[in-house]
Amino acid sequence: MMRSPESAESQTPGERDETDARLLRQIADGDRDAFARLYDRFSGPLYGAALQILRDSAEAQDVVHDAFVALWEKAGSFEVTRGSAFAWTVTLVRNRAIDRVRMRRRRAELLAESAPEDLGYDRDGAVSTGGDTAILADNARLVRAAVAALPAEQKRALQLAFFGGFTQEEIATKLREPLGTVKARIRRGLMKLRDTLATQL
């Protein structure tokens, strides 16, 4: 099958950079066809870069999607004098992937700081369930329901911590509450979850 003249595989590195930069300029003008062509050129390598950092296929796909949304919105800010379009886009993906990794670490740190010792979390923040992945998946609905049943202030703090990836200090700032109050809410929320789930899981 004959390759398109714009196929990245059929171009020299210099030609690829020129084509990518031109497509970005067209995207900045709102050209959706150019966006689709650039997606075809970049999506595979960008997914590979995200997967290497995250080690999770679904998260890598999410990061690439987010990066292309940002690319559509920020294409006009690309400057060819500062590097290639591909390098610029890789940076978008890398930064988002690193943010995801940091979010994971924040959640683990929060558990280590806040969870009561008898809640079932070990010292490195991992969950000690004694079950397998299938059992965890089956129990996800019960956990979500238990979180939804928490008092509003505890639910909000836990949602910001575990789903928003915020530290306790950031939560205190966001909610305009003393840090001690936020820590107490998270701890009480975790204990209530333990008590609720103990009769269901």
Give me the residues paired with residue 127 across strands: 121
Looking at residue 32, its pLDDT comes to 94
Select 115-198's CATH number: 1.10.10.10, 3.40.50.1980, 1.25.40.80, 3.50.40.10.
1.10.10.10
Rounded Cα–Cα distance for residues 129 and 196 (Å): 16
The CA-based angle 146-147-149, given to 5 degrees, is 65
Looking at residue 12, its pLDDT comes to 82
8-102 has which fold? Answer: Rna Polymerase Sigma Factor; Chain: A (1.10.1740)
Looking at residue 39, its pLDDT comes to 94
Query: Position of tokens 């070990």?
Result: 122
Looking at residue 127, its pLDDT comes to 46
Looking at residue 28, its pLDDT comes to 95
Counting Cα atoms < 13 Å in the Cβ hemisphere of 170 gives 13
Rounded Cα–Cα distance for residues 61 and 43 (Å): 9
CATH 1.10.10.10 residue window(s) in the chain: 115-198
Looking at residue 186, its pLDDT comes to 84
CATH 1.10.1740.10 residue window(s) in the chain: 8-102
Looking at residue 201, its pLDDT comes to 54
pLDDT in tens, 69-100: 999 999 999 988 888 899 999 999 998 988 88
Looking at residue 122, its pLDDT comes to 46
pLDDT in tens, 19-54: 999 999 999 999 999 999 999 999 999 999 988 888
pLDDT of 194 strictly over 60: yes
Query: Position of tokens 């999607």?
Result: 65
pLDDT in tens, 98-152: 888 887 777 666 656 555 454 444 444 444 444 444 444 455 667 777 778 889 9
Cα 191 → chain centroid: 27
Cβ atoms 162, 110 nearer than 8 A? yes
